[in-house]
Amino acid sequence: MTHIKMPAVAGLFYPGSAVDLRRDIDHYLQVADVGDNKRPLALIAPHAGYVYSGPVAANAYATLQPWAADIRRVVVLAPSHRVPFAGIALSSADSFRTPLGDVPVDKQANEALAGLPGVHVFDAAFAQEHALEVQLPFLQTVLDRFTLVPLVIGDADSDDVQRAIETLQDQATLIVVSSDLSHYHDYRTAQVRDRETTRLIENLRDRDIGPHDACGAYPIRGLLKSAKHNGWRVKTLDLRNSGDTAGDRSRVVGYGAYAFY
């Protein structure tokens, strides 16, 4: 029997209707900056409700549009907001569903990862997790066809995350780390904190980024270690917060979009 991971936040974080969802994403992409004329190897994109973080995420995903036919597999690494656990969670699902359709899971990639330290199948980590799910409609819109390697990162060692990334990295694979930045500071404080976190990301300072800087600190650390090992550079594509997009400025959440080349 086919195991489909059903959406948990459709109609909450993003529209539950395919027509409305595609309309919103198309709008965000139309006003986004397409970035450099070079294919990103990895992205960091935010994962809040689209009304808040959608415009920032679009500046990450717009960079993929010229390269849609070249990307055949996407590894999405998301933090765990609901279930505390150690290590890296794999899903046993055959596909992940959104209002835009089903995305097949790369089972061979899962098998390759299953033997690595800290990696194990743990479906409970995916059941209500929004951080991975909200990336999928953007990927479904900008890419032609692709398989998915969904990973939820718990309290994981950076070396284990780096190893998982580098096990799957090839010319047809894109790495996406899902993360917001600071949470619930006033607008000016958030700007200062998020600019400092951005400086750390740009300088590949993996050891200096903690959960108070970015909720996706553990996958970010692993990505930065891999980027350093492979000699990648980072470009900041967008840096805003919910006070800039849709919300008051007394308690904001920070959002950044970054591309790795």
Helix 158-168 to helix 217-230 angle, to the nearest 10 degrees?
A: 60
Distance CA 6, CA 96 (A): 6
Contacts of 111 (CB under 8 A, 6+ apart): none
Paired residues of 79 in beta bridges: 153
Average pLDDT over residues 52-74: 97
With left for phi above 0 and alpha for psi between -120 and 50, is residue 183 left, alpha or beta?
A: beta
**Model confidence pLDDT, tens digit, residues 67-91:** 999 999 999 999 999 999 999 999 9
The per-residue pLDDT for 184 is 97
Confidence at residue 245, expressed as pLDDT on a 0 to 100 scale: 97
Could you read off the pLDDT of 221-236 as tens digits, one per residue? Answer: 999 999 999 999 999 9
Separation in Å, CA 104 to CA 3, 130, 147, 230: 10, 18, 5, 28
Residue whose entry in the numeric block shows the structure tokens 């300088």: 203
* pLDDT band (50, 70, 90) for residue 256: very high
Give the structural domain span for 143: 4-260
Residue 45, both tokens: 């994109």
What CATH number corresponds to the domain at position 165? Answer: 3.40.830.10
Does pTM surpass 0.95? yes
The whole-number pLDDT of residue 1 equals 83
Q: Phi and psi for 88 in degrees, rounded to 5? A: -120, 125
- Reference 86, options 161, 26, 167, 15; nearest CA is 161
4-5 and 73-79 beta bridge pairing: unpaired
What's the pLDDT tens digit per position in 122-163? 999 999 999 999 999 999 999 999 999 999 999 999 999 999
pLDDT at 35 (0 to 100): 67
Please report which confidence band the pLDDT of residue 23 belongs to, taking 50, 70 and 90 as the band edges: very high
The separation between CA 247 and the C-alpha centre of its own chain, rounded to angstroms, equals: 22
Confidence at residue 36, expressed as pLDDT on a 0 to 100 scale: 72
- Among the listed residues 4, 41, 13, the one whose alpha carbon sits nearest the alpha carbon of residue 223: 41
Between the alpha carbon of residue 31 and those of residues 12, 27, 34, 55, 112, the distances in Å are: 23, 7, 9, 8, 39
Q: Is the pLDDT of residue 34 over 80?
A: no
One-letter identity of residue 204: L
Query: What is the arithmetic mean of pLDDT over 12-41?
Result: 94
Q: Which long-range contacts (CB under 8 A, 24 or more apart) does 16-25 make?
A: 16/99, 17/99, 18/99, 18/100, 21/98, 21/99, 21/100, 21/137, 22/100, 22/141, 24/50, 24/54, 25/50, 25/54, 25/58, 25/137, 25/138, 25/141
Domains in the chain, number:
1
| High-pLDDT (> 70) share of the chain, % | 100
Q: What is the pLDDT of residue 227?
A: 98
pLDDT at res. 247? 84
